[in-house]
Structure 1
Amino acid sequence: MKKQLFSFFAMLVIVSASAQKLKIQEGDYNNLKGIDTYSLVFDYTDVQIPKFDNEEAFLKDKMDKREEKKAGDGERFKNDWFSDRPNRYHPKFIESFNKRFDDGVVSVTEDAADYTMKIHTSKIYPGYNVGIVRHNAEIDATFTIYKTDDPATVLFEGKYKDVQGYGSMGYDYNSGDRIAECYAKLAKNIANVIKKKVLK
């Protein structure tokens, strides 16, 4: 039984690592050499939510269920869903990325810079935590790098699928906390690629 459990969890780790592997869409690592600062742009256009036709359908479902239990909770959920982006996800990404580099040799910021890194989130699965059972949140995201004054010329573009967030020791009852950990993991993945492929 122990061997079966070990094999099962080992398979989960392998599948997770495979899912989070970078798929290069365009460009070359050499194009990024010498860049030390990226201006971040986050894009959620046409983001998909698994099991729902679109984001609007997801929000309606979650808001209706909350309104049935307590008036006003539906609108609060919607407000949190959007405010979590600048308040949770973006700071988490920046913190996770920047701490990977000593002396700020490479960094990201939401201030203006000569080069831009656009993070386009195409899927958000918020996961769940109901105490006795939980599931990590997941995101799909494409990051595109270009000179800020020439966005049409892509220097590098890569995509990650099913990036899962781990953290909070299981106390991530708020979907915003779970999803924020996905952005921390995404930032770690991108930073590690830059360290290994660009700064080598």
Structure 2
Amino acid sequence: MKKLFLPLFLALACSAYGQRGIKLISGSVAELKGETTLNFEFAYDEVRVGKFADEKDYIDKKKDEYNKKEPGRGDKWEQDWKSDRPKKLEPKFIEGYGDFGVTAKADSKYTLIFNTTFIEPGYNVYVSRKNASLNGIATLVLTSDKSKVIAKITADNIINYGNAVWGYDFDTGARLEGVYKSAGSSIAKFVSKNAGK
């Protein structure tokens, strides 16, 4: 009985967290059948963070807290929060999408614009944790005419189920990297399945 518990737990965890809240809200992904490259762009329009309705309020609070503990630490934290996007988070999203056989290429026929609408940074302090998560909208457009929307897909409550199970994510950046990779992978899986690849 004990030998069956761990595999059963892992299977349930993966099914619960692997593809959460991926929904097609308009258009069709059928045009992407057979496409092996995709251009990627990222937006952060009106991002909510945790309990904060405005990302700026979250940044100001965290920066102030860190600067009070150690002068300059909050300013460095703010720089890292913003620079992590192009350096760490976006590449992880693309990596996750690439797990389904799609290569990032700027001159691809189609572009996926991923707009993050909500970020939960989470925390992990050994004895207590809260998973990082995100919500976003993936808009698939023609690269040559981005006003031509092929499909819109929502991604809600995406978490990194690997770290949710094992818990080795003590750094905020590491937690968010995992979440962005999960988002890319989950959307790619949805597109692949529904485009009939």
User: Alpha-carbon deviation of 1:61?
Assistant: 0.7
Question: Given the superposition, is the C-alpha separation of residues 130 and 55 from structure 1 closer, same or farther in structure 2, using an over 3 Å criterion?
Answer: same
Q: Which residue number corresponds to residue 159 of structure 2? A: 164
Q: Distance in 1 between matches of 2:44 and 2:16?
A: 23
Q: Which moved more, 1:44-53 or 1:16-25?
A: 16-25
Q: Which residue number corresponds to residue 6 of structure 2? A: none
User: Cα RMSD over matched residues?
Assistant: 2.5
Q: Which residue number corresponds to residue 99 of structure 1? A: 99
In the alignment, structure 2 segments of 5+ residues that lack a partner are 1-8
Q: Are the equivalent residues in 2 in contact too, given 1:19–1:162 (CA < 8 A)?
A: no
Q: Which residue number corresponds to residue 108 of structure 1? A: 104
The residue type equivalent to 2:89 in the other structure is: Y
User: Alpha-carbon deviation of 1:80?
Assistant: 0.7
Q: Which moved more, 1:18-27 or 1:59-68?
A: 18-27
Question: Given the superposition, is the C-alpha separation of residues 53 and 141 from structure 1 closer, same or farther in structure 2, using an over 3 Å criterion?
Answer: closer
User: Alpha-carbon deviation of 1:42?
Assistant: 0.5
Q: Are the equivalent residues in 2 in contact too, given 1:32–1:155 (CA < 8 A)?
A: no
Q: Which residue number corresponds to residue 132 of structure 2? A: 137
CA distances 1:121-158 after superposition (whole Å, capped 9, x unpaired): 00001000112111110100110111112111111111
Q: Which residue number corresponds to residue 37 of structure 1? A: 37
Higher RCO, 1 vs 2 (CA within 8 Å, ≥6 residues apart): 2
The residue type equivalent to 2:41 in the other structure is: V
TM-score where L is the length of structure 1: 0.84
Q: Does 1:196 find its partner at 2:193?
A: yes
CA distances 1:89-127 after superposition (whole Å, capped 9, x unpaired): 1111122221232xxxx3234x33221000010000100
Q: Which moved more, 1:43-52 or 1:118-127?
A: 43-52
The residue type equivalent to 1:131 in the other structure is: Y
Q: Distance in 1 between matches of 2:134 and 2:51?
A: 14
The residue type equivalent to 2:103 in the other structure is: S
Q: Which residue number corresponds to residue 178 of structure 1? A: 175
TM-score where L is the length of structure 2: 0.85
Q: Which residue number corresponds to residue 150 of structure 1? A: 145
Q: Are the equivalent residues in 1 in contact too, given 2:97–2:181 (CA < 8 A)?
A: yes
User: Alpha-carbon deviation of 1:25?
Assistant: 1.5
Question: Given the superposition, is the C-alpha separation of residues 186 and 34 from structure 1 closer, same or farther in structure 2, using an over 3 Å criterion?
Answer: same
Q: Report how many aligned residue pairs link the two structures.
A: 188
In the alignment, structure 1 segments of 5+ residues that lack a partner are 1-8
CA distances 1:147-190 after superposition (whole Å, capped 9, x unpaired): 11211111111101110123454232211110111111111111
Q: Are the equivalent residues in 1 in contact too, given 2:21–2:157 (CA < 8 A)?
A: no
Q: Are the equivalent residues in 2 in contact too, given 1:40–1:116 (CA < 8 A)?
A: yes
User: Alpha-carbon deviation of 1:195?
Assistant: 2.4
